[in-house]
Amino acid sequence: MQRICVIGGSRYFGKLLVERLAATGHQVTVINRGSHQPPAPVEHLVVDRNDEASLLAALGPRTFDVVVDQVCYTPVQAAIAARAFAGRTRRYVMTSTIEVYDPATAALPAVPAGVPVREESVDPATWRVALDLPWHDEAYLDAHYAEGKRQAEAVLTRAGGFAFASVRSAHVLGGGVQEFTGRLAHYAEHVRQGKEITVHAKALPTVFIHYEELADLLLWAATATGFRGPVNACSDGLLDVRALTAIVAAQAGRDPSYRVVAAGEPASPFSYDRHYAMSNARAKGWGFAFSRTVDWLPGAVAEALAASPAPAPAA
């Protein structure tokens, strides 16, 4: 049994992670602001992680074997966490994102299309940190989501006081109504309703992961290994937007309707005119076995279709 603190962990794959940690006998403490109740039986500390004094007061004398941070989006949040948990945990795992590799959001090493991006393409040990940017502003943070994650990783990598690992998640799908991003629901609705799906003329493939598999990988990262640094989390196999839509269309029994947009213009989720699909070789090398996207995606699509509005009857 380990003492594990999960920051966030009250919905989607975070909630599932907490449930699985508790089910495997770990002593779990969940920290959040109280808007969502964690699954029982776990300890629940209601506190704003952005308020350092309140966080320290809530933690009291507690120590942990591992902290899993599901909701660290900025270097300021990371700096508060680094101070609060230094000497209080031996290991800190942060949930990060494939978006750290998006070449539209930073000057990154060029990777040829079709070559999976490896973790060293974004090295948090050398990434520049700017704590004085307006990270508290929601609009700024939304527009700089990828950079916030890169800088958060950088702060925690350099913090000392604990071993640090970041899990860079691919696009997460599955869970039907639980899937709060709504991206698979977008396709289910558009195909069923005959709405246009906007795509780039040369849409490039990306990578995905099922929410249950991501929960499993986070549990593994927290409890079963001693690795440090970033690790990519994605199921095997790349899909572009048309291949994904074809799976939706096959189950919906309707042909999709596409409209092509110019390079650089906004398009439907998962239509990319730039390449940053990840490699999962590092996690495999450390012993994690991934599923294949094409094996679990039809089930996730069925859940999304079941939750999407039925087409309106013809007049």
Structure confidence by residue, pLDDT tens digits, 213-254: 999 999 999 987 778 999 999 999 999 999 999 999 999 999
Query: Which whole number is the average pLDDT over 281-299?
Result: 96
Q: Which pLDDT value is given to residue 54?
A: 97
Contact 203/228 with Cβ under 8 angstroms? Answer: no
Residue at token pair 């590799």: 101
Query: Is residue 123 over pLDDT 80?
Result: yes
Instruction: Read off the pLDDT of residues 164-193 as tens digits, 9 standing for 90 and up.
Output: 999 999 999 997 777 878 899 999 999 999
Q: Which pLDDT value is given to residue 309?
A: 67
Query: Is residue 10 over pLDDT 80?
Result: no
Token pair, residue 245, equals 């839509």
Query: Is residue 34 over pLDDT 90?
Result: no
Query: Which whole number is the average pLDDT over 293-305?
Result: 94
Query: Is residue 314 over pLDDT 70?
Result: no
Query: Is residue 315 over pLDDT 70?
Result: no
Q: Work out the burial of residue 65: count CB atoms within 10 Å of its CB; fewer than 13 is exposed, 13-18 middle, 19 or more buried.
A: middle
Query: Which whole number is the average pLDDT over 38-62?
Result: 93
Q: Which pLDDT value is given to residue 130?
A: 97
Contact 130/105 with Cβ under 8 angstroms? Answer: no
Query: Is residue 203 over pLDDT 70?
Result: yes
Residue 59 φ then ψ, to 5° = -70, -35
Domains with residue ranges and CATH for the chain: 3-307 (3.40.50.720)
Query: Which whole number is the average pLDDT over 270-299?
Result: 95
Angle at CA of residue 120, ends 207 and 212, nearest 5°: 35
- Mean of the per-residue pLDDT values for the chain? 93
Q: Which pLDDT value is given to residue 121?
A: 96
3-state helix, strand, coil in the chain (%, to 5): 35, 20, 40
The CA radius of gyration of the chain, in Å to the nearest whole number, is: 20
pLDDT category, 310, cuts 50, 70, 90? low
Query: Is residue 311 over pLDDT 80?
Result: no
Query: Is residue 280 over pLDDT 60?
Result: yes
Q: Which pLDDT value is given to residue 114?
A: 84
Q: pTM to 2 decimals?
A: 0.94
Query: Which whole number is the average pLDDT over 128-135?
Result: 97
Instruction: Read off the pLDDT of residues 57-89 as tens digits, 9 standing for 90 and up.
Output: 999 999 999 999 999 999 999 999 999 999 999
What is the DSSP-derived secondary structure letter of residue 99?
G
